[in-house]
Amino acid sequence: MEEASATQKLCYYLIGLAIQRCRMCETLCRVSIVLKRSSVAVSHLSIISISDTGVGSSLCEFQDLEHHFSDNTEQSCEVGTEKCDKVLSITTTDAGTQDKEIHHYQLRLADVLPRSRLIQLASTPKYGGEFSGTEVSLSTQESISDCVTFISHLCEKIFLLKMPNIAFELVVEDMNTLNVTRENLIVENGGILLPFSITNLERLTSSMVEFSVRHGNVLDENCWSCLSNREQFMLGAGAASMDNVKGTKQVVEAVFVVTRVSESSNIPCLRTGNNFTKVLYFQDFMPCSFPPSTLNALTCINWQKYGLAVKATSLDGNGDAVLEWEDLPYFMHIYLVVHNYQKEVFIPQTRVNNQGSLVKKAIQLALDDLKAKYTGFFLSKHALRIRNYVPDLSKAIAGLILSSNDEDFIGDCASLLGMIPSEAGEQGRVESCISEKILGVIEINDLKSKKGEGARQDLFEQEKNLEGEERDEDEDEDADDEGGMLDWGGEF
């Protein structure tokens, strides 16, 4: 994939600002991206307009624009060869809906002196009631088709977040001397049909289920022949947060989706490269590359605790983090998405220095969620080794019970196992019940922290409620747990 041009990087930044302004608004909002092909006289010039109906713009949002709008080539700054005039036209309602005027500015990114870059133009009065919003436009010689492709892919990824109050629109207009044609390429409600009451993490989980049925992670083609029902999905979600230095809360959310394609399926789309997981990463509701400084968070996770083994972690050519698994069954695929954002919107965005620790904690909580919800899966090697002895142990204990000539003893044992005495005589019934009890205890105890074992789960205890128990996600496993692998021998 080719590196994005300076114009595309600028569009990315401006769309991100529009989303933040809409997040600050409590009503339904729209983000519109309009690409205009100019008249025949200047056929190589195009206009890109990005507007929103959010709270109105704070001019400090644009203070870092020159950093996002550099071509890294001296030739691009020469008159007549640059792809953009580096002049932004900004129209905004500074004070939101209560502002009586619409303000106009011109931002000249090419100016050497920072104070001369922003020029305030004459304002115009508001008509038509209370409203707020911002529009930023620029002229460019960038190919409209390239911009459409870039923005379309960007919006498709943004839609995965299912933002509840933002609709998106991508429009291409041809402007010539005869007429104006308008083509709506994207009209997306961004998840408005979902209840407003559900959390961002719930929306992200719902989106990842939809994403995981798409052929080879293609964003616009579903494959229900591979994954025909929700029982073929295992979902785990977790969130970690901390307060920033400026009083806002930084939140990191992680969602795992584990899918199992039928072994008899002849559809290869999810088998190809299934030992690799590309981590989808979002920053402040915008897709972006995985921060290199945070990659260590993936390597520090104790994957063996969950029956997984990571062979390598790396960044690909697009800046995405890639996990390479060891010995993952060929019919399995693992998806992972991480979203790092500020709970309270603050512009310009504030960053935290230790976001890697939040990423690690959120992923571990998502793995804990998987392990707790799907008993029998994601067991450590230690638990798997113990489980191998269960059949022989169950058979031996059942033999001891049934070999007794004391009917009262056999009846008491049956009651202790949750059976009625008459069931003890059924073929294999006692052995099966003992095996089930032992397996349940192994699975539950595997969830518990080895630092605070306390009272281990009783073999005959019926309740398996672990709610409220605190687990240390940074615990170290025994040396025997190294290299533990996921056991998919049982039914899914």
- How far does the chain reach from its first CA to its final CA, in angstroms? 37
**386 is a domain residue:** yes
How many domains does the chain divide into? Answer: 3
Longest pairwise C-alpha distance within the chain: 105
Q: What is the DSSP string of 124-183?
A: EE--SSS---EEEEEEE-S-HHHHHHHHHHHHHHHGGG--TTEEEEEEEEEE-SS-EEEE
Q: Is 261 exposed, middle or buried (0-12, 13-18, 19+ CB in 10 A)?
A: buried
Same domain, 141 and 260: no
pLDDT averaged over every residue in the chain: 77
**290 is a domain residue:** yes
Same domain, 444 and 465: yes
Same domain, 285 and 212: yes
Most confident of 82-91, 131-140, 192-201: 131-140
What does the alpha-carbon distance between residue 165 and residue 193 come to, in Å, rounded to a whole number?
Answer: 10
Identify residue 2 by its one-letter amino acid code.
E
Q: Tens digits of per-residue pLDDT, 118-173?
A: 888 898 888 766 778 899 998 888 888 888 889 989 988 998 888 888 889 999 98
Tokens of 78: 């020469």
- Residue 202: predicted pLDDT: 92
**347 is a domain residue:** yes
In this model, does residue 321 exceed pLDDT 90?
A: yes
**Domain of 103: which CATH number?**
3.30.565.10
Same domain, 391 and 360: no
Q: Hey, what long-range contacts does 410-419 have (CB within 8 A, 24 or more apart)?
A: 416/460, 417/460, 418/460, 418/462
Cα angle 237-240-243, degrees, rounded to a multiple of 5: 155
Q: Tens digits of per-residue pLDDT, 261-311?
A: 655 555 555 545 578 899 999 999 999 999 998 999 999 998 988 888 899
- Residue pair 379/387 in contact (Cβ under 8 Å)? The answer is yes
What does the alpha-carbon distance between residue 378 and residue 372 come to, in Å, rounded to a whole number?
Answer: 9
Q: What is the DSSP string of 407-473?
A: HHHHHHHHHHTT--GGGGGSTTHHHHHHHHHHHHHHHHHHHS-STT--SPPPTT------TT----T
- Residue 255: predicted pLDDT: 97
> Among candidates 489, 212, 239, which has minimal Cα distance to 376?
489
Same domain, 34 and 130: yes
Same domain, 332 and 410: no
Identify residue 332 by its one-letter amino acid code.
M
**194 is a domain residue:** no
User: H or E stretch including 116?
Assistant: none
**492 is a domain residue:** no
pLDDT tier at 254, thresholds 50, 70, 90: very high
CB within 8 Å of 472: residues ≥ 6 apart: 449, 451, 452
| Residue 152, domain extent | 6-73+81-188
Same domain, 392 and 449: yes
**18 is a domain residue:** yes
- Residue 465: predicted pLDDT: 44
- Residue pair 439/487 in contact (Cβ under 8 Å)? The answer is no
- Residue 51: predicted pLDDT: 94
Same domain, 223 and 365: yes
Tokens of 492: 């899914």
**483 is a domain residue:** no
Tokens of 92: 């905004």
Question: Last residue of some domain: 133, 163, 188?
Answer: 188
What does the alpha-carbon distance between residue 320 and residue 294 come to, in Å, rounded to a whole number?
Answer: 12
The full length of the chain comes to 492
CB within 8 Å of 461: residues ≥ 6 apart: none
Same domain, 385 and 369: no
- Residue pair 424/434 in contact (Cβ under 8 Å)? The answer is no
In this model, does residue 330 exceed pLDDT 90?
A: no
CA R_g for the chain: 29
Tokens of 265: 């399926």
pLDDT tier at 344, thresholds 50, 70, 90: confident
Same domain, 211 and 353: yes
pTM, entire model: 0.77
Same domain, 279 and 182: no
Q: Tens digits of per-residue pLDDT, 205-247?
A: 988 888 877 655 454 555 555 565 556 788 999 999 988 766 6
Same domain, 37 and 108: yes
How far from 303 is each of 217, 349, 483, CA to CA, in Å?
24, 32, 9
**485 is a domain residue:** no
**Domain of 246: which CATH number?**
3.30.230
